[in-house]
Structure 1
Amino acid sequence: MKTFLQIFGAITVVLTLFRFVAMDYWWIRVFDFPHVQLTILSIVAFLAYFLRFDFKDKIDYLFAGLMLICMTYQIYKIYIYTPLASFEMHDAQKDDPKKQLSFFTANVLQKNTSYDKLNQEIKKYDADIMVFTETDVTWKNEITDSLDPAYIYKVEVPLNNTYGMLLYSKLELIEPQIKYQVDDSIPSIHTKIKLRSGDLVQLYSIHPTPPMPQHNPMSTDRDKEMMLTAKLALENKLPTMVVGDFNDVAWSQTSQLFQRVSKLLDPRKGRGLYNTFNAKNFLMRWPLDHVFASKEFRVVSMEKGEKIDSDHFPVFIKFSLEPEGASIQEPDAVTTKDLERANEQIKGTEKMPDDMY
């Protein structure tokens, strides 16, 4: 029995330490994802070990201490996303519709055919800006056939490779561009948005490729696109947002580096995990769809949408542009070490020609 408990505990320790392995192989990076599940596993392993704990054995104290450290680390990484923690991005202090903008974003799952379910969510939230990923020509047609005429601005990149992207907006888009930052088959959309107040803000919408054993066994391409976008956000002088399916969880080393380099804030911290994937599996869910924003923004509301028969849930968020309060949520300065790490991940990337819209 004790041997079994030791093996069980050792597994939780090893899985916790995998997060710190600086390698890009999919079979290592996959352990970034089930953090909630690993947290529960580490708690169970720690408590179960005391069923056979020998208070006279120094090895037991050492082993239990190691498990306690791993359990504490796992709990802390989850804690910052619970309502018990402080907000990273504060609630809106003003109610000025001209300074507000709302987003609705969804990975529709290209093979999904429940078009009506998505359209119901679109109508329910009536967002200013909508971004859809995994969209082919059929999805584009189904969405546009029932689209409110108020969405007069659009950028459409329907593709059959599960990386198609569509953007629809009630607000004016300024200089929208379709860019291929890492791969000529994986687009991103970069555009300025003119608010009803006349203020300009910057939006980057991305959907980097995930590490997968059959197609892309390394996380290199995903990490490159995230770091390229982080540097764009850092260098942009406008209030900035990054939206999309990152194929990465918020607590991974790459996502945390993305946040530090971009100096963008995560509205989930202090509010909840908002697990968007896998919508088809209750036990294996984590946050893959993200909306990050710079310090000039505050949160009016945020919700996870209903099931649309995709493997992702939609996300809705409404921001208020309040630059006068930016200093209260000022992120830390970017360190030289973080910039070096970001540049190392970008190194070797050849930018493809950009299609101008």
Structure 2
Amino acid sequence: MTKAGRFALSAFILIGVAASLAPLVETNLWWIRYLDFVRLQGAAALAITLALYASFGGWRSVAGRGVVALGIVALGLHAYRLYPYAGVVEAMAVATPACPAESRLKILVANIQWGNRRSEALFAIVARVKPDLFLVLETDEWWDAKLQDLGERFPDGIAHVPADANYFGMHLLSRYPLVEPRIGFYFGADTPTVLTGVALPDGREALFIGLHPRPPQFWDQPTTMRDAHLLAAALEARGSERPSILAGDLNATPWEGVTRRAMRIGGLLDPRVGRGVYPTFDAQSWLMSWPLDQVLFQDSFGLAAWDVLPAFGSDHLPVMAELCLKPDLAARQSAPALLAGDVDAAQAALRAAKTMER
């Protein structure tokens, strides 16, 4: 390879190193936070480029060896963030296939993509999966009317249908009675959160928190509101006496710092840890896809089943988690331990979001 070719490869590696390390900075800038989404793709691109650079003798010079060393450090960071989702570690959530029917709670989460009108494919999934709770995101008046067809299957529910067309409609449909359900709006934003008790057939009650915070967006949307939304939900779970579940399109990957902090604060387990990445967005791309749709739950629940389901016309794939309420499981599984400063950091995030209230 020519000197110019090696220089181009080294430049690409250094850009990759900078992009890999930038998310370590505590900031809400959209372009830095977005780099956490593509960590898996970035790691693959960096590994391929490093291999090419080394094979063409880039390591022979002192500067070249420095480039290789920096690339290895960046790959090590990617590996540290991603290895829990490679299926090579012990599962965080204990598998509990044997569970009394009256203690089970099957949850289906589907972001239908605003403007999508393909209800038949989604309803076929519902008929096959038979969820107890069905959280539907990005709904509008058309979907509000369509979801009435599921009223016999889901006798209870709560919904927010935006008066003006936007991406943050939300419906929660339930086979079981909901206890004091309400729609909350953190920080005056137009992104709803469902907070409700769910009465299980065995007489016990769980807290369900359904959310869909805004994602980081090009140029004008930092992650301030998203992060505060996630952390506020985690604080709700932390303060509840009921075993809690947090589910939705979180617009954050499981390996992001804010997601891990929310798990530590809320005492939440991630079914992906020890099982795989399970990407859900973009459903139309096998290359640029990452796990945004999540179901997190406290250690009183075991995991009877977990899956990402087939496409139904949305840009998101639906996710299904069947949980088993079995408090003695807490002795066999645990969420990431709370770190010093986690709650203070969450409170600071909430204060920052309040300054942006709409």
TM-score of Structure 1 vs Structure 2, range by shorter chain: over 0.9
3-state SS of 1:182 partner = helix
Letter in structure 2 aligned against 1:337? G
Tell me the equivalent position of 2:223. Answer: 219
Aligned residues: 349
Distance 1:55 1:174, change over 3 A: closer
Distance 2:45 2:37 in 1: 14
Out of 117, 140, 156, the residue aligned to residue 153 of structure 1 is 156
Is 1:41 aligned to residue 56 of structure 2?
no
8 Å Cα contact 2:269-2:334 kept in structure 1: no
Distance 1:288 1:235 in 2: 25
Question: What is the deviation of 1:58?
Answer: 3.1
Tell me the equivalent position of 2:145. Answer: 141
Tell me the equivalent position of 2:349. Answer: 345
Distance 2:58 2:7 in 1: 13
Moved more, 17-26 or 294-303: 17-26
3-state SS of 1:80 partner = helix
CA distances 1:105-127 after superposition (whole Å, capped 9, x unpaired): 10001111111111111111110
Letter in structure 2 aligned against 1:234? R
3-state SS of 1:347 partner = helix
CA distances 1:194-233 after superposition (whole Å, capped 9, x unpaired): 111111111100111112236x421111111111111111
8 Å Cα contact 1:12-1:45 kept in structure 2: no
Is 1:198 aligned to residue 207 of structure 2?
no
Distance 1:278 1:56 in 2: 41
Distance 1:341 1:223 in 2: 11
Distance 2:153 2:282 in 1: 32
Is 1:105 aligned to residue 109 of structure 2?
yes
Q: Map 1:44-193 onto structure 2 (within 5 A).
A: 44-53=48-57, 57-92=61-96, 94-145=98-149, 147=150, 149-159=152-162, 160-193=165-198
Structure 1 unpaired stretches of 5+? 352-357
TM-score, normalised to structure 2's length? Answer: 0.93
Distance 1:309 1:320 in 2: 30
Moved more, 134-143 or 18-27: 18-27
Is 1:208 aligned to residue 213 of structure 2?
yes
Question: What is the deviation of 1:330?
Answer: 2.4
Out of 216, 229, 240, the residue aligned to residue 236 of structure 1 is 240
TM-score, normalised to structure 1's length? Answer: 0.93
Tell me the equivalent position of 2:12. Answer: 8
Question: What is the deviation of 1:51?
Answer: 2.1
Letter in structure 2 aligned against 1:175? E
Out of 318, 329, 336, the residue aligned to residue 333 of structure 2 is 329
Distance 1:115 1:228 in 2: 32
8 Å Cα contact 1:204-1:242 kept in structure 2: yes
Question: What is the deviation of 1:148?
Answer: 5.4
